[in-house]
A and B are shown apart, each in its own frame.
Chain A
């Protein structure tokens, strides 16, 4: 079964608004990553947050991690039409292996 589950499955907002997506997972993790996928394309890595970090920023992106609740959120501020894409969280477990498990994604539509 999938490790991460994103919420909501779909989100539609107006340009300039903020978009928040959530990811919940089931077991202890080593780190959590967020990726973006434009329609028909490969995934692009956005940000990685380690299990001992609580918040991380990258440009208009803000990621939080709450290991006690086994959840993470991705906030995109001042959204643009170009942010329209699907967003996936991916969790990595301890053990030294590079494999991660992807969630089912949130489909974001930003209306100009």
Chain B
């Protein structure tokens, strides 16, 4: 079955450490997204990519970095510059193209905490 796999499910970060969250999809989707979810605040867009080797900053990109070297993969690095990284991180994908926005398919998230 096609879907999105996020790993790990739980991740702990030490001060000054960079950590990378994995996101892999086998849906053959061009567009991929990273969101951060804090309690009571809904989802906020960190980065998105509409095609391989291209990505754009979302609303809260500071302290995060991404790469899109393969269509299937869109890893997110939470750098030490992100001072409040504790949150639930969600990866999503969708088909791309012009016109109206398409439904997004989500992974089951990675919960990041500070040690």
Contact = CB atoms under 8 A, between A and B. Distances in A.
Contacts of A33: 101, 103
Interface in B26-51: 31, 33, 35, 40-45, 48, 50
A33 B102 CA distance: 9
Interface residues of A, number: 26
Interface stretch (A40-48, A59-67, A77-85): A40-48
A108 to B, nearest CB: 15
A31 interface: yes
Nearest to B29: A98
Interface residues of B, number: 30
Given A42-B107, A48-B100, 14 more contacts: A30-B101, A31-B101, A33-B103, A35-B104, A40-B108, A42-B6, A42-B92, A42-B108, A43-B104, A45-B104, A88-B42, A98-B31, A98-B50, A100-B104
Interface of A: 2, 30-31, 33, 35, 40-45, 48, 50, 88, 90, 92, 96-105
8 contacts: A35-B104, A42-B92, A43-B90, A96-B99, A97-B50, A98-B101, A99-B45, A102-B43
